[in-house]
């Protein structure tokens, strides 16, 4: 598979163990079964977002699913058709002692386009919109602070348009979507080579994508870029 700047700088993912079988309806910032922290992001195709987060040190697992829509128990066909209002999203289960929410946000900006409100790369429509879904007020404050940091420090020249939205019901996607990048490497490689996502990351971040995502802790991010 083509080596990706974003992925090449990341250490091997933590071993996956005691994986939650069903993330449907998960709104707490803690996974009740294991007390692992939970965050939810949408950045276009959930195959790519899932891979990006699962390569981060401190992330146990990312689960692909749907949120932000009206229909109960939506199917992939319904969401892909743009009929339910949902977007493809990922719930990230992580160890905050290794990577804090601020670190997840830093990573998120480096594998999506925060200047595009109409989809992501080759995938167009509201079902591929980028969005940060916060689980509580602290995540909301951190997400908004991270956006202010991104606006202040770059690298983008266009407006940052990624919304920060309260999480509604999250529906786990069909099993064949989970870990798609590892279960279907040839198809995934073909898709990623033609999506434009990684060319975008390389263009805007270059060697800066190799920065330590934990350059700001949650407390430091709020102190520097929190709402005054």
Active site residues: 45
Question: Where do the H-state alpha helices sit in the chain?
Answer: 5-8, 46-54, 76-80, 101-109, 137-153, 180-183, 185-195, 197-205, 218-225
What tokens appear for 19 in the block?
A: 């994986």
- Residue 155: cis peptide before it, omega within 30 degrees of 0: yes
Q: Mapping DSSP to helix (H, G, I), strand (E, B) and coil, where does residue 183 land? A: helix
Instruction: Give, to the nearest 10 degrees, the angle between helix 137-153 and helix 218-225.
Output: 60
Residues paired with residue 36 on neighbouring β-strands, in sequence order: 31
Q: By C-alpha distance, which of 149, 115, 130, 136 is closest to 227?
A: 149
Q: Which of 140, 143, 130, 160 is nearest to 68 (CA)?
A: 130
Structure tokens at 127: 């079902």
CA separation for the pair 148, 152 (Å, rounded): 6
């Amino acid at each position: 598979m083509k080596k990706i700047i974003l992925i090449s700088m990341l250490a091997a993912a933590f071993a996956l163990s005691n994986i939650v079988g069903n993330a449907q309806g998960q709104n707490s910032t803690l996974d009740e079964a294991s007390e692992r922290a939970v965050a939810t992001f949408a950045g276009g195709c959930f195959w790519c977002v899932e891979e990006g987060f699962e390569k981060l040190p401190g992330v146990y697992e990312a689960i692909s699913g749907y949120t932000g829509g009206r229909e109960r128990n939506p199917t992939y066909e319904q969401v892909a058709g743009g009929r339910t209002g949902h977007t493809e999203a990922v719930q990230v289960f992580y160890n905050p002692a290794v990577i804090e929410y601020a670190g997840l946000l830093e990573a998120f900006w480096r594998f999506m386009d925060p200047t595009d409100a109409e989809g992501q790369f080759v995938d167009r429509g509201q079902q591929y919109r980028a969005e940060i879904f916060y689980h509580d007020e602290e995540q909301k404050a951190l997400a908004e602070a991270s956006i202010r940091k991104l606006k202040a420090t770059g690298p983008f020249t266009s407006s940052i348009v990624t919304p920060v939205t309260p999480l509604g019901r999250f529906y786990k996607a069909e099993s064949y979507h989970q870990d798609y990048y590892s279960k279907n490497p040839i198809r995934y490689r073909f898709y990623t080579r033609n999506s434009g996502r990684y060319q975008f990351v390389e263009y805007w971040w270059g060697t800066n994508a190799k920065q330590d995502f934990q350059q700001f802790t949650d407390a430091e991010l709020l102190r520097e870029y929190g709402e005054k």
